[in-house]
Amino acid sequence: MSPNVQTFYADAVLFDMDGTLTDSIAAVEAAWGKVAKDIGQDPAYVIAATHGKRAIDNLAQFKPHIKAHEMDDEVQNFEESILYFADAYNTHGPGSQANSPFTNTPLSSGFATPEMSMTPNSSAPSSRASSFASVRRPSFASRLNNMLTMSAVPEASVYGQGPYFEDSIMEEDHQDIMVSEDNQKLLEKHRLEAWQQEAASVDRSVRILPGVKRMMNSIPEGRYAVATSGAKTYAYGCMTRVGIVPPKVTITADDKRLKAGKPAPDPFLLAASELGFSAKNCVVFEDSPSGIRAGVASGAMVIAVCTSHERKQIEHVGAHFVVENMESVRCEPCADGRLKFTVQL
């Protein structure tokens, strides 16, 4: 046999998901980039530090203010943002047949307060704004307190005609507050749309990686599992988007049986156990340094694929074989029940 071709046998296969079966790296990095901007950190640093690790561990590191009882919701919200980044181009952007819902809501650089608003084609304050300086009024705090302590809602407002105020100054204050609240809502709406518009401008669709379909089709049912650092929302969302039916044994990061995530071996040990095999008799497919370390620590034979990292970044982490992608690996069921693997190096 050629020295560039190696053969070995195993009982079952344990797949990582993202970067191994699917490619949603662009969407994941965009989501972590958004987290980085939200907390004022360097996106490149946060993206590098989070790859291959559970969202729960990453969020605990970068958002330590999240309380324990809030974490499950935070993880789900984060993973839903990954899927939004993955789908936005084809749902709301150029890949969509329908017009984006954002095209008619351009971003604004901000909203002036009513007293500082300008008249069209003029740098001078509006006539209403100018009038504020000519009338001495009670302080805003006292006026607001008077409004809040009114004993009843004016009758006209009950019938949809808007409230009536005997005091014209109070009426103006009421209008100012209503406009201010509306402007605040618009600001929040546009801030939200800023990242959504960016998400829709770039195609970050989830894709199946080379050789994956053939590999998975060659393994008998019940002889392979997925062990991923993604929680269920993200993991199942990614696989179903590329036509992969999540196997019965799919270990996700939110599995309460796990004491630790990768680079600890726990996800692979649990997956192997659920299949009914020892991890030492399994083969692990991984793409990230932390995942490779987890596979090696589990005792499995580890095949690293260069689908998300350059070879030099993963070739010295401990994998038994390093290949470009799954096209370089063949699996054949044997008569004795074992699986024969042939690796083209």
Quote the tokens at residue 23: 């490619």
pLDDT in tens, 81-111: 999 999 999 998 898 865 444 443 333 333 3
Q: In this predicted structure, what is the pLDDT of residue 113?
A: 29
Question: How high is the pLDDT of residue 312?
Answer: 96
Q: How far is it between the farthest Cα atoms of the chain?
A: 98
The confidence band for 296, taking pLDDT boundaries of 50, 70 and 90, is very high
Is the pLDDT confidence value at 194 over 70? Answer: yes
pLDDT for res 127: 39
Distance CA 315, CA 94 (A): 39
Q: What is the pLDDT of residues 8-35, one digit of tens each?
A: 999 999 999 999 999 999 999 999 999 9
CB 303, CB 283: distance < 8 Å: yes
pLDDT tens for each residue of 39-53? 999 999 999 999 888
Mean pLDDT lowest among 54-58, 71-75, 115-119, 145-149: 115-119
**Angle in degrees, 0-180, between the axes of helices 232-241 and 71-91, rounded to the nearest 10:** 20
So what's the pLDDT on residue 87?
95
Of 269, 249, 246, 247, the closest CA to residue 259 belongs to: 269
Q: Which whole number is the average pLDDT over 331-341?
A: 97
* 3-state DSSP of 70-81: HHHHHHHHHHHH
Q: Which residues contact 13 (CB under 8 A, 6 or more apart)?
A: 219, 223, 224, 225, 282, 283, 284, 285, 331, 339
* pTM for this predicted structure: 0.71
Task: Please return the burial class of 131, using the count of CB atoms within 10 Å of its CB with bins 0-12, 13-18 and 19+.
Answer: exposed
